[in-house]
Amino acid sequence: MGAHLPTTAAAPRLHGLWTMPTPTSIAGEGPRGPRRSSGNRSLERDPTQVPIKAIMQTEIAVSDLSLPADQLLESLIEEGIGGAPVVDAEGHLLGIVSKTDLLCAWRDLGTQRDRQPLTAGDVMMPVVFALTEDSTVAEAAALMAYEGVHRLPIVDRETRVVGVVTTLDLSRWIAQSAGLHAPDIREIEVREV
């Protein structure tokens, strides 16, 4: 097994096959399909103006500059994530690296790959954009759409990484705001494979 990426907080890991309940078992069945819930009081205001800290992931994998690229790719695959922020020893954001960045760098090296080992710092995209916790969901969606990225680092005022928001986080938020609820993690049946 390869090395796991460090995380911003320890989190329990589930292993096995996830079986999600059907929408009808969560929201109930109506004459035209799944019923929408009556709503959540916290969603009564415009959901696009909610601070991003309400939906961002705070237990995230991060990489340092010197992590060998092959170990980084193995860790991303093991963690089931597409990329990670690259940080310094104090957690300040330096860049972001994705599986695609790693594969493209190796493709560009061609036969020189074995003679020129890469690190996260070699292949990361230096951060051109990030958001603060007080940015809104709408600002995150607009920036992701404009820049064509799937994840945004969220930083504090000192540019330390405090979270990440992904396109999946935004999709879940839109569904929840519309009254469609994904199952709670406790409602997911985990079976050993």
Compare 8 and 93 and report the one with higher pLDDT.
Answer: 93
3-state helix, strand, coil in the chain (%, to 5): 35, 25, 40
Region 122-134 average pLDDT = 88
Q: What is the pLDDT of residues 61-85, one digit of tens each?
A: 999 999 999 899 999 999 999 999 9
| Highest mean pLDDT (candidates 7-11, 23-27, 59-63, 125-129) | 59-63
pLDDT band at 176 (very low <50, low <70, confident <90, very high): confident
Whole-structure pTM value:
0.68
pLDDT beyond 90 at 139: yes
Secondary structure of residue 128 in the 3-state scheme: coil
How confident is the prediction for the chain on average, in pLDDT? 76
What's 34-82 look like in SS3? ECCCCCCHHHCCCHHHCEHHHCCECCCECECCCCEHHHHHHHHHHHCCC
- Structural domains in the chain, CATH included, are 47-180 (3.10.580.10)
d(CA 109, CA 106): 5
Secondary structure of residue 122 in the 3-state scheme: helix
| Planar angle of CA 176, 132, 74, nearest 5 degrees | 75
Region 80-92 average pLDDT = 94
pLDDT of residue 62: 94
d(CA 39, CA 176): 9
Region 96-117 average pLDDT = 81
